[in-house]
Amino acid sequence: MYMNTNTRIIAPEFDFAQPKSLDEGFALMDEHGADARLIAGGTDLLVQMKMERISPAWVISLARIDELRAITAGKGLSLGAMASIKEVSVAAPVKAGYAALAEACNAYSTVSIMLMGTIGGNICNASPAADTAPALLAFDAVAVVKSARGSRRVAMADFFAGPGKSALKPGEILTAIELPEPAAGSGSAFLKISRVVADISQVCVGVSLVRDGDRITDCRIALGSVAPTPIRIAGAEAALGGQKGGDAVFDKAAEIAARDIKPISDARASESYRRHAARIIVRDALKTAWQRAAEGAAK
């Protein structure tokens, strides 16, 4: 019975903590265990609490832990988990080297969500429709995860376990997302189809490829809203590796992607429309990334 659920009132009571350091945060998480939920920007968590999909006794905010907000460029790029979608979208190194990620962040379109929502929250919420996920998958990003017991690195491809489920274990906090340095001749693109611009995607895609002359030497293709998690399409990637770039192979890869995804029908789109649209945007994203790779090489 959904009739009396709503997205305004949080009826159950809960306690709230704002640790100032990671260690303080780990201690709180260990103390409250499964009764606690971390809150980053809150754009998803608060809605789930209002709808009573979750009713945590403790909500622990990461907003006061300054080190989680940094965006630092070195050989690659490190995005603090608490960097807002807006901050990521406008960061110079993101715009310069990771076009697909900048485009994914801009695809949120709603200013308030971009300012409140964080890149880490978007990933930890583990929605199959998370806009940043296909871009991060395409860049082969790595999640840096810490707890009182140490730290570990999780490849983005292993991070999503199911709708709303991530690879995080009890007591762990996602602190940063690291993106490797783009190889010479790289190009990337993100595309999204939705009913209106400010909307959850019907289907979205992130691609990243490396171009050597007229050949594709490396390629990653990831899609969102077409399976229980954001997914990479190995078959489509294999169809492109080592091939001459061009419309024919891009069409072929797009067809494989449309075949290999497992979309459902829901309020946003039918299964058949998702397959159709996936084929179109995979092809278009590949074309754009291919073009960008050439432009990058020309510089």
Partner 1 sequence: MLSTEFKSVGDASWRKDGIAKVTGSEKYAPDVSVDRMWFGRVLRSPHAHARIKSVDTSAAEALGAVCLTFADVPQTRYNERIVSTPPCLYRDRTVVADKARHVGEALVGVAAPTEELAEKALRAIKIEYEVLQVITTMEQARKDGAEPIHDTVLLDGKDKPIVNNVAVQRTIDVGDVEKGFAEAEYVIERSFKTSRIYHAQMEPKSVVCRPEIDGGITVWASTQSIHNTRILLGQIYDIPLSKVNVKKVMLGGSFGSSIQMNSVTPICVGLALKAGHPVKIATTREEDMHDHVRYPSEIKLKLGMKKDGTLIAGEMHANIDVGAHNIQAFPFLGGLGGFWASLYKLPNMKYVGTAVYTNKTPSCAMQGFGAPQAHFAVECLMDEIAHELGADPIDFKLNQYVGLGGTFWGQGPASKCIIRSDGVPELLKTGAELIGWDKRPKPGSQTGRMRKGIGMARGFHTSGVGHAKASGAEMIDYSGAIVKLNEDGTVDLIQSLMDHGGGTNHAISKIVAEELGVPTHMVGLSPCDTRTSLYDVTTHATRGIYAGGAAALKAAKEVKAQIIDWAARVLDVLPESLVIEPDEDLGQGVIYCPNLAERRMTVGELARYLHLNSLGTISSSQSMRQVNCPPAYVSYFVEVEVDTDTGQIHTRRAALGSDCGTVVNPALASGQLIGGLSKGQGYALTEDNQWDPETGELVSKGFWVDGKTPSMSESPKVGDIDTHFAHTYEPTGPFGAKGLGEAAKNPAAAAFGNAVYNALGIRFYEIPITPEKVLAALAAEKSTKSRQAAPKAPAPVAE
Considering only residues 39, 137, 277, 293, which one is a binding residue for partner 1 as defined by CB under 8 A? Answer: 277
CA angle 10, 49, 27 (to 5 degrees): 110
Q: Least distance in Å: CB of 280 to partner 1? A: 5
SS (H, E, C) 271-289: HHHHHHHHHHHHHHHHHHH
Please report how close the Cβ of residue 194 comes to partner 1 at its closest, in angstroms. 8
Tracing tokens 């880490």 back to the chain, one arrives at 120
* Binding status of residue 16 toward partner 1 by CB under 8 A: no
Applying CB under 8 A, among 8, 34, 295, 299 the residue interacting with partner 1 is 8
Q: In whole angstroms, what is the distance from residue 37 CA to residue 29 CA? A: 8
Q: Which is nearer to partner 1, 12 or 180 (CB)?
A: 12
Does residue 109 touch partner 1 according to CB under 8 A? Answer: yes
Query: Smaller CB distance to partner 1: residue 60 or 203?
Result: 203
State the burial class of residue 170 (Cβ atoms within 10 Å of its Cβ: 0-12, 13-18, 19+): exposed
Scan for tokens 């907003």, then name that residue. Answer: 63
DSSP per residue over 211-222, as a string? EETTEEEEEEEE
85 counts as binding partner 1 under rule CB under 8 A? no
CB atoms within 10 A of CB 149: 11
The number of residues making up the chain comes to 299
261 binds partner 1 (CB under 8 A): no
Residues 161-200 that bind partner 1 (CB under 8 A): 193, 195-200
Contact between 248 and partner 1 (CB under 8 A)? Answer: yes
Smaller CB separation from partner 1, 40 or 191: 191
Name which of 7 and 151 has its Cβ closer to partner 1. Answer: 7
Which residues make up the interface to partner 1 (CB under 8 A)?
1-11, 13, 109, 193, 195-200, 248, 267-270, 273, 276-277, 280-281
